[in-house]
Amino acid sequence: MFERLARWLRAAPTLQLAVVTPVGPGHAELYAQCRASVEAAWRHSHGPFAALEFIAIDDGRGELGRSRARNLGVERAAAAAADWLFFLDADDLLVEGAFAAVAPYIADHDAVWGMILGLSPEATRPHLRIPQIISMGSIDDLLLFDPFLTLQMGHFVRTAVAQSVPFDETMDAGEDFDYYLRLWAAHRGVKVAREFFINRHARRSGGPRAASAEEWGRAVRKRQSDECERRGLAADAPQLRALRNARAAELQAFCRQQGLVGAADCAALSAQMPYHGVVEVNEYEGGTLRLFTENDDAICAQLAWSGEYRPFAAALWQAVAGAGGAVVDAGGGNGFYALLAARIAPAAKIIFIESPAGNLARARINFMENEATNIDIVAAAAADFSGDARFSLPSDNHMPPLVGETDLNATRAVQCMRIDDALRAAAVDAVAAMHIGCGNDASAVLRGMAQALAASQPDLLIDMPDAAAAGRVDELLRPLGYLCRAIDEARRELAPLPSNCVAPDGGLLQLFASARPAAEVARIAASAPGCMRDD
């Protein structure tokens, strides 16, 4: 019994914690709520701490300012023999599990931050700031990224460390970032994928030493720029490029796991947190899919941030592409649909026909990344004739302009080919499924495959720029026994034309056209996520 008691005593928490809170003008009532949140967290779990002390610094007239108030709090914490402290503003709330969440990091670090969590005045639940850097381990993280995406004040820190890097009391804006830089330069700081506190928006205190968000931004970015220059940090240094890429990939993975991002948000997120490299996804039949991006591919952006791209259309496509027979991907951009077909039907012959140099080069990389040996590449533009022509080749929805192209209205000579001629050259007699990308005139592509349509009646997945183009395709296919339906990703169903359904990312529309009986199309649709609306 005594041995068990001795083990318990050795393992029992001994650390003292102080919560330091400046209480500025008009924040007395908010501080009562703030303190109540700390008390609730303490009741939930003490974590690695044996005792808790509240240190509130009264600055009701706003004369001290945040820096002076926090420094006074640190000194009081030291006088109270606190080993650690937590800086918590009066307008913020502690997360219930904060003390338990920090426990794994206390022994090896001097200061620990968590993720940025906010609560808007009209909201009932807090939300994670997206984007933000999920984890940080060095001062380089602070210097390479927008300060808005890195740290906020609420954090755990050893009292002795806080004493060694006091807040600059001459600063009324950006004193927090200045403190972060000095602490991370000399001590073991870390940011972890845990939640410690909630920043309540629009509750900022006033007073003669208060600063606006704009003043904070100017002060912080000036401090960041000066420190980068002082350290000789070159933004294009290989190790820094690798760090930025790693942080972007980490955030993308976190967003996918948590389901935080919708299709319409991916372009803006990619602009804020660029990623260069291979995106891996496992949500499709047939195994892992690998696609390369230079932060210039809308499909890759959606896959990276949300884990899916047009999931209902992709499921339909894999259902028909895997049914047996050859598959054609005409104008498929980066090769996404050709690769989906290769994954679901590794023994099938897949014809990928694409002309623009940027698209074709990217598709070749992706096919090699996936070891897709059953894809035959035809370097031509699918059309209703075979031969050379001059085309304007603007950027399509998936890829950037042609490599080296600056004038999007420029024309260039392009080799064109009818699908019927491409199939004949590849010795393909029958086609099971075909995708027509948005970079093509779908009506012209269909006219160039009249023989294949008549002989095989392949299922068609067609990217359309607008409803008018969809109507022209419907008029062309109906006499051949086809019924066109719009793919409604929001409701995971096929909708009859005319349809007012829109793409989830605000981009191109997609049609699914089939000459199969309606009941069979319904069965195929039912095998994909969602169900088909009754016609």
Q: How far is CA 170 from the centre of its chain?
A: 39
Are 201 and 316 in a shared domain?
no
Each residue's pLDDT tens digit in the chain (535 positions)?
546 544 444 456 889 999 999 999 889 999 999 999 999 999 999 999 999 999 999 998 888 888 999 999 999 999 999 999 999 999 999 999 999 999 999 999 999 999 999 999 888 899 999 999 999 999 999 999 999 999 999 999 999 999 999 999 998 889 999 999 999 999 999 999 999 999 998 655 555 555 677 888 888 999 999 999 898 887 778 888 899 999 999 999 999 999 999 999 999 999 999 999 999 988 888 889 999 999 999 999 999 999 999 999 999 999 999 988 999 999 999 999 999 999 999 999 999 999 876 689 999 999 999 999 999 999 999 999 999 887 665 544 333 333 333 444 556 778 899 999 999 999 999 999 999 997 778 999 999 999 999 999 999 999 988 888 889 999 999 999 999 999 999 889 999 887 776 666 667 789 999 999 999 999 999 887 644 344 4
Domain assignment present for residue 263? The answer is no
Read off the CATH number of the domain in which 287 is found: 3.40.50.150
- Specify whether 222 is located in the same domain as 297: no
Tell me what pLDDT residue 393 has: 54
Report if residue 182 sits inside a domain.
Answer: yes
In a domain, 320, yes or no: yes
User: 359 and 210, same structural domain?
Assistant: no
* Residue at a domain's end among 213, 231, 249: 231
Q: What is the pLDDT of residue 10?
A: 47
First-to-last alpha carbon distance for the chain, in angstroms, is 76
What total of structural domains would you count in the chain? 2
| CATH number of 77's domain | 3.90.550.10
* 359 and 215 belong to one structural domain: no
135 part of a folded domain: yes
Of 204, 231, 258, the one marking the end of a domain is 231
In b/e form, how buried is each residue of 10-35, taking b as 16+ CB within 10 angstroms? Answer: eeeeeebbbbbbbbbebbeebbeebb
Residue 316: domain span = 280-527
- Give me the pLDDT at residue 3, please: 60
155 and 304 housed in the same domain:
no
Regarding whether 223 and 295 lie in a shared domain, the answer is no
Q: Are residues 8 and 125 in the same domain?
A: yes
328 and 227, same structural domain?
no
Which residues on adjacent β-strands are paired with residue 57?
22
pTM: predicted TM-score of the whole model, two decimal places: 0.86
Residue 306 and residue 178 share a domain:
no
Domain membership of residue 239 (yes or no) is no
Q: Is 82 helix (H, G, I), strand (E, B) or coil?
A: coil
Closest CA to 181 of 143, 134, 226: 143
Domain membership of residue 265 (yes or no) is no
Is the backbone peptide bond immediately before 498 cis, with ω within 30 degrees of 0? Answer: yes
> Does 21 share its domain with 102?
yes
Whether residue 225 is found in the same domain as residue 299: no
What is the C-alpha to C-alpha distance for residues 236 and 44, in angstroms, rounded to an integer?
46
Q: Is residue 415 part of a domain?
A: yes
pLDDT at 243: 93
What are the CA-CA distances from residue 399 to residues 76, 112, 169, 272, 351 (Å)?
59, 41, 51, 18, 20
Domain boundary among 231, 256, 271: 231
Q: Does the residue 258 lie in any domain?
A: no
Q: Hey, how many other C-beta atoms are within 10 angstroms of the C-beta on 365? A: 16
Q: What is the DSSP letter of 491?
A: T
Q: For residues 293 and 222, state if they share a domain.
A: no
